[in-house]
Amino acid sequence: MQSTAVIGWRCVVCGTTVDISEPMVFKCPKSTAADPHHTLQIVQHDEPVRPISGDRNPFLAFQPFFAWDSFAASLGMSEGDRRDLVIEVDARVAAVDGTGFVISPFARADALSDALGFSAVGGLWIKDETHQVAGSHKARHLFSTLLALLVAERNEAAPWGNRIGKRPVLAISSCGNAAIAASTLAAAVEWPIQVFVPPTANAAVMARLHELGATITVCPRRPHDPPGDPCVLRYREAVGAGAIPFSVQGPENAWCLDGARSLGWEMAAVPLDRIFVQVGGGALTRSVIGGLAQSAAKLPMLHAVQTEGCAPLARAWRRALDGPGGLATAGARWSECMTVWEGEPSSAADGILDDETYDWLGIVNGMAASGGSPVVASEAHVLQANELSLAHTAIEASFTGTAGLAGLLEIRSQIRDDERVAVIFSGVRR
CA distance 384 to 378: 10
pLDDT at 339 > cutoff 70: yes
CA distance 390 to 31: 44
Cα distances (angstroms) measured from residue 152 to each of 89, 158, 164, 167: 15, 5, 12, 12
* Residue 33 sits in the same domain as residue 170: yes
Torsion-angle region of residue 371: left (phi > 0), alpha (psi -120 to 50) or beta? left
Domain span including residue 48: 6-98+138-256
- What's the pLDDT score for residue 15? 96
Q: Is residue 1 part of a domain?
A: no
Eight-class DSSP state of 296: -
User: Following DSSP, what letter does each residue of 383-408 receive, concatenated?
Assistant: HHHHHHHHHHSS--B-TTTTHHHHHH
- What's the pLDDT score for residue 46? 86
Q: Residues 350-357: what's their mean pLDDT?
A: 93
pLDDT in tens, 181-230: 999 999 999 999 999 998 888 888 999 999 999 999 999 988 888 888 89
pLDDT in tens, 121-162: 999 999 999 999 999 999 999 999 999 999 999 999 999 999
Residue type, 405: L
pLDDT in tens, 48-104: 899 999 999 999 999 999 999 999 999 999 999 999 999 999 999 999 999 999 999
Cα distances (angstroms) measured from residue 383 to each of 129, 358, 387, 389, 410: 20, 25, 6, 10, 12
- Which of 210, 225, 256 lies at the terminal end of a domain, its last residue? 256
Q: Is residue 29 part of a domain?
A: yes
- For the CA atoms of 170, 142, 98, 108, the dihedral, rounded to the nearest 10 degrees, stands at 160
Mean residue pLDDT across the chain:
95
Q: Residues 389-415: what's their mean pLDDT?
A: 97
The CA angle 298-303-308, to the nearest 5 degrees, is 175
51 half-sphere exposure, CB direction, 13 A CA radius? 18
pLDDT at 1 > cutoff 80: no
In this prediction, residue 3 has a pLDDT band, given cuts at 50, 70 and 90, of: low
* Residue 201 sits in the same domain as residue 122: no
* Residue 89 sits in the same domain as residue 116: no
* Residue 287 sits in the same domain as residue 144: no
* Residue 214 sits in the same domain as residue 265: no
Q: Is residue 356 part of a domain?
A: yes
Q: Is residue 15 part of a domain?
A: yes
Q: Is residue 14 part of a domain?
A: yes
* Residue 376 sits in the same domain as residue 308: yes
Do residues 332 and 38 touch, judged by C-beta distance below 8 A? no
Do residues 41 and 18 touch, judged by C-beta distance below 8 A? no
- For the CA atoms of 120, 124, 129, 131, the dihedral, rounded to the nearest 10 degrees, stands at -40
Q: Residues 268-272: what's their mean pLDDT?
A: 96
Number of domains into which the chain is organized = 2
Q: Is residue 430 part of a domain?
A: no
* Residue 314 sits in the same domain as residue 216: no
Q: Residues 347-371: what's their mean pLDDT?
A: 95
Q: Is residue 112 part of a domain?
A: yes
* Residue 126 sits in the same domain as residue 246: no
In this prediction, residue 2 has a pLDDT band, given cuts at 50, 70 and 90, of: very low
74-104 CB burial, b ≥16 within 10 A, e <16: beebeeeebbebbeebbebbeebbeebbbbb
- Which of 228, 256, 284 lies at the terminal end of a domain, its last residue? 256
- Which of 256, 291, 309 lies at the terminal end of a domain, its last residue? 256
* Residue 44 sits in the same domain as residue 119: no
Q: Residues 258-267: what's their mean pLDDT?
A: 97
* Residue 314 sits in the same domain as residue 232: no
What stretches of 111-156 adopt beta strand conformation (E)? 123-128
Domain harbouring 122, CATH code: 3.40.50.1100
The CA angle 333-335-337, to the nearest 5 degrees, is 65
Q: Residues 163-170: what's their mean pLDDT?
A: 96
Q: Is residue 74 part of a domain?
A: yes
> CB-based contacts of 143: which residues, under 8 Å, 6+ apart?
59, 89, 93, 101, 133, 185, 259
* CB-neighbour burial class of residue 223 (10 A; exposed 0-12, middle 13-18, buried 19+): exposed
* Residue 157 sits in the same domain as residue 15: yes
Q: Residues 247-259: what's their mean pLDDT?
A: 96
pLDDT in tens, 22-34: 999 999 999 998 9
CA distance 197 to 50: 38
* Residue 277 sits in the same domain as residue 411: yes
- The structure's pTM equals 0.94
Closest to 68 (Cα-Cα) out of 48, 53, 89:
89
Do residues 180 and 52 touch, judged by C-beta distance below 8 A? no
Q: Report the share of the chain in percent with pLDDT over 90.
A: 91
